[in-house]
Amino acid sequence: MGEPGEGPSAERAEAFRLRAVEFVRRMRGASQPSLLRCEDGASYVVKFRNNPQHVRVLANEMLAGRLALLIGLSVPRPTVVDVPPELIAASPLLQFELGTRREPCAAGLQFGSRFPGVPGRTLVVDFLPDRLLKDVVKKEPGCFLGALVFDKWTCNCDGRQVIFYRLQDREGSSYSTTLIDHGFCFNDGDWNFPDSPIRSLYPRRMVYGGVRGLDSFEPFLSRVENLEASDLADCVRGIPEEWCGEQPEELTRLVERLYERRRRVRQALIEARDSSLAPFPNWR
Ligand SMILES: Nc1ncnc2c1ncn2[C@@H]1O[C@H](COP(=O)(O)OP(=O)(O)OP(=O)(O)O)[C@@H](O)[C@H]1O
Ligand SMILES: [Mg+2]
């Protein structure tokens, strides 16, 4: 397996733009995404510009996905997916349910998060029982800790979400993990940073059992702190302007603020430690 975590290169991520060729199925979720097969033969969970959340969810997903790659986190490859109008017209399920109203999903450039493997052959789940989650944490101890560094930095206003995946026919084999759903980083459509010590934690606190101190968050903490402004500027290149809402120029300011914030993550982790949730019981 091992598709997510394509390597820390924003330029590489930028190059991925693919045409959708087939509707596979709808996915669960408030943005009402759909799984589409693309011209490369892989499938992508696609969020549409006119989704019921916010148009900027697409810009957030792309920017956050690239930033995550930049610091070496495992995320599904973020991709611009071009959905032809004919595919929308030929797929009756490519529409949003908005109360009693229906609205077709927009054609054109949408955000795609690559499905890890082949649907039907790869099992993907959002939740694992404690025993299996423990195995995952043991196998990839930095996964949830790197995610917390990232979420504090980007002020992810959603709880941390991950998917676990393995080959369907390998019952008993271990799961791999990858980080998904960055639509609410930078506070959704607001593009600001209402920081809070109790934000962005994974609901299953056992994933933080290995935290002994700030060193436990390495190498991710230092990687964020040492980013260059030009690395961040690279991450917004090629993000379609129509994903940015009414004031697309705010995207430049957003990455400037991310640069300014990069050395505040350390303190944010200490504030999380001292919060009422006390998420790191083994911090010495
Ligand atoms: N790259 C991916 N590969 C496989 N499954 C995925 C991928 N991305 C998302 N999913 C699945 O699709 C679901 C919805 O994705 P996501 O959470 O990003 O959308 P959402 O609209 O924010 O949903 P919610 O509001 O429920 O959080 C996830 O719970 C997960 O099961
Ligand atoms: Mg979600």
What pLDDT, in 10s, does the model give residues 201-241? 999 999 999 999 999 999 999 999 999 999 999 999 999 99
Is 96 inside a domain boundary?
yes
Q: Alpha helices, DSSP H only, in 99-236? A: 130-139, 143-154, 220-225, 229-235
Examine the domain organization and report whether 192 and 267 are in the same domain.
yes
Q: Give distance in angstroms: CA of 183 to centre of ligand 1.
A: 10
Average pLDDT over residues 184-211: 97
User: Do residues 51 and 31 lie in contact, with contact meaning Cβ atoms separated by under 8 Å?
Assistant: yes
Examine the pLDDT at 11 and tell me if it is beyond 80: no
Is 4 inside a domain boundary?
no
Examine the domain organization and report whether 250 and 164 are in the same domain.
yes
- The DSSP result for 41-68, as a single string, is S-EEEEE-TT-SS-THHHHHHHHHHHHH
Query: Predicted confidence band at 128 (pLDDT cuts at 50, 70, 90)?
Result: very high
Q: Give distance in angstroms: CA of 75 to centre of ligand 1.
A: 12
Return the closest-CA partner of residue 226 out of 72, 78, 64. Answer: 72
Ligand 1 pocket (Cβ < 6 Å) reads 27-31, 33, 45, 76, 113-116, 124, 126, 161, 163, 180-181, 183
Is 278 inside a domain boundary?
no
Structure tokens belonging to residue 211: 């935290």
Q: Give distance in angstroms: CA of 181 to centre of ligand 1.
A: 6
Is 282 inside a domain boundary?
no
In this prediction, residue 172 carries a pLDDT of 85
Examine the pLDDT at 97 and tell me if it is beyond 50: yes
Q: How many other C-beta atoms can be found within 10 angstroms of the C-beta atom of residue 204?
A: 16
Examine the pLDDT at 1 and tell me if it is beyond 80: no
Q: Give distance in angstroms: CA of 282 to centre of ligand 2.
A: 29
Average pLDDT over residues 10-20: 69
Is 142 inside a domain boundary?
yes
Q: Which domain holds residue 181?
A: 122-273
Closest Cα to atom 10 of ligand 1: 45
Examine the domain organization and report whether 261 and 137 are in the same domain.
yes
Is 1 inside a domain boundary?
no
The rounded distance, in Å, linking the Cα atoms of 96 and 51 is: 7
Closest Cα to atom 17 of ligand 1: 181
Average pLDDT over residues 257-279: 98
Q: Among residues of the chain, what percentage have pLDDT more than 70?
A: 95
Alpha-carbon radius of gyration of the chain = 19
Return the closest-CA partner of residue 35 out of 99, 103, 101, 122. Answer: 122
Residue 89 is which amino acid?
Answer: A
Q: Give distance in angstroms: CA of 81 to centre of ligand 1.
A: 16
Pocket test for ligand 1, best of 163, 176, 178, 179 (most atoms within 8 A of CB): 163
Q: 174 vs 7, which has greater pLDDT?
A: 174
Examine the domain organization and report whether 48 and 158 are in the same domain.
no
If one counts the domains in the chain, the total is: 2
Q: Which ligand is nearest to the CA of 79?
A: 1
Edge-to-edge order in the sheet of strand 176-180: 122-125, 161-167, 176-180
